C-alpha cells in the first residue's frame, strides 16, 4: 500500500504506443521509487487532471500528497 502522507511527484508522460493517451504515475522523491500503479489517460481527460491540479495547488497539496507536476514527452 502507498503511503499517501509523504510527498510524491506526479509524472505525466506520453503513452509509448497510443498517440492520444498519456501515462500518469507517482514517484516518491525520498526513496526514488515509482508507485506500482500507473494510469493511462486520454488527452481530453488530461485537461480535467490539470484543473484538479490547480485546485490542489490552491491549498490542498499536502492532503493530496502531490509535490509537483511536469509533463515528459517520450518518443
pLDDT confidence band for 73 (50 / 70 / 90) = very low
Burial of 8 (0-12, 13-18, 19+ CB in 10 A): buried
Residue 22 near residue 13 (C-beta atoms within 8 A): yes
End-to-end CA distance of the chain: 31
- pLDDT for 74 equals 43
Cell triple for 2: 502507498
For residue 1, is pLDDT > 50? Answer: no
pLDDT confidence band for 30 (50 / 70 / 90) = confident
pTM assigned to the model:
0.43
Amino acid at each position: 500500500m502507498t503511503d499517501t502522507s509523504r510527498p510524491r511527484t506526479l509524472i505525466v508522460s506520453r503513452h509509448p504506443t497510443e498517440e492520444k493517451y498519456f501515462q500518469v504515475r507517482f514517484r516518491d522523491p525520498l526513496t526514488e521509487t515509482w508507485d506500482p500503479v500507473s494510469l493511462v489517460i486520454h488527452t481530453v481527460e488530461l485537461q480535467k487532471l490539470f484543473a484538479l491540479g490547480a485546485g490542489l495547488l490552491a491549498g490542498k497539496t499536502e492532503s493530496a500528497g502531490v509535490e509537483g507536476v511536469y509533463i515528459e514527452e517520450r518518443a
